[in-house]
Amino acid sequence: MEFGRVTEEQLNLVDFTLPPNPDFTLETLRNASNNQPLQVRAGCAKWGRKEWVGKIYPPKTKDANFLDEYVKHFNCIELNATFYQTYGAATISKWKEKADASPDFKFCPKFSQSISHIRRLKNAEEITTAYYEGIMAFGDKLGPLFLQLSDNYTPKSLPELTAYLESLPTDVPVFVELRHKDWFGVPENKEAVFNLFKRLNIGSILTDSSGRRDCLHMMLPTPHAFIRFVGNSLHPTDYSRCDEWVDRIVEWKELGLQSVWFFMHQHDERYSPELCDYVIDKLNQRLGTNLLRPTFISKDDGLSEAPTLF
């Protein structure tokens, strides 16, 4: 993942401190019913990583069996495959069958780029219908949906965004990722879009990357957190940043948070399993959960090209 990437020299200058909770988020959590256990999930963005063969996938695992192996290690996936192609129910059903071995597993499919980046949410009714017809084949394995808007999708398009979100079915949760700086840098825009999300019960995605700290807005219009964490190849700051996220999730739980979806990205994705395992272990310790942790055949230490066996 290249979004928010900085050089090694710049990395040492980044203030990775999480912003404080806005009043908007505190109100959302206070108004939420917290009489049910917090739902906690953590995973990666793709299952098709050849670098994971011999690491968490058995040696000589074929591409066709990567998903069979992935579901043994994580309880969810941020499914980016659906961004590049609209899959029909037949293909989705095959993926679901592979995940049936993990009863609690969830797919979080990204909206097609044909909808978000090419049509830019306009005249996208037919593509949206096809997208939903496909992903509904996940059945009980379907998690929330993920709509990513491009860096050049500006607040001038708020009317189109409003119309599109109002047209979506309400029986499957949707989270939106904003990227253009004017959504966050102009107070009127920020207030308008997050109030829209709150009115429609749409979640907002928190993207924690080194070079775009403005995307870490900490605005929760619903009592559900969808976090996209972008690490830097197991740099020491990756771990301290994850520690701070665990602290914040624990705090939000006490305030009324109902679910958290934590998705691990690295600019070099071969390192994602190690850092995701670190987060899962910390969440289990702090929340008393028993989340599935990846089992390693070999493990990178982040300091050399070769994996370290253990």
Which pLDDT score, from 0 to 100, does residue 33 have? 75
What is the extent of the structural domain holding 250?
A: 223-297
Tokens representing 138 are 């996940």
The number of folded domains in the chain is 1
Q: How far apart are CA 49 and CA 66, in angstroms?
A: 8
Please count the other Cβ atoms lying within 10 Å of the Cβ belonging to residue 289: 14
Q: Does 265 reside within a domain?
A: yes
Predicted pLDDT of residue 301: 58
Whether residue 227 is contained in a domain is answered as: yes
The verdict on residue 2 lying in a domain is no
Please check whether residue 268 lies inside any domain of the structure. Answer: yes
3-state secondary structure of 87: coil
Domain assignment present for residue 81? The answer is no
- For 268, the 3-state DSSP assignment is coil
Phi, psi (rounded to 5 degrees) for 113: -65, -20
- Backbone φ, ψ for residue 79 (5° rounding): -85, 95
Which residues, listed in sequence order, are joined to residue 308 by a DSSP beta bridge?
299
Q: What are phi and psi of 124, to 5 degrees?
A: -110, 20
pTM of the model: 0.94
In-domain check, residue 232: yes
**Domain-located, residue 290:** yes
The reported pLDDT for the residue numbered 307 is 33
Give the CA radius of gyration of the chain: 19
Beta-bridge mates of residue 148: 177
108 contacts 261 by C-beta, under 8 angstroms: yes
Q: How high is the pLDDT of residue 310?
A: 24
- For 258-277, letters b (16+ CB in 10 Å) and e give bbbbbbbbbbebbbbbbbbb
Alpha carbon distance 158, 180 (integer Å)? 12
In a domain, 213, yes or no: no
At 303 the pLDDT is: 38
> How many angstroms separate the first and last alpha carbons of the chain?
28
Per-residue pLDDT of the chain (310 residues; tens, 9 = 90+): 677 787 788 888 899 999 999 999 999 999 997 778 899 999 999 999 999 999 999 999 999 999 999 999 999 999 999 999 999 999 999 999 999 999 999 999 999 999 999 999 999 999 999 999 999 999 999 999 999 999 999 999 999 999 999 999 999 999 999 999 999 999 999 999 999 999 999 999 999 999 999 999 999 999 999 999 999 999 999 999 999 999 999 999 999 999 999 999 998 899 999 999 999 999 999 999 999 899 999 877 543 333 332 2
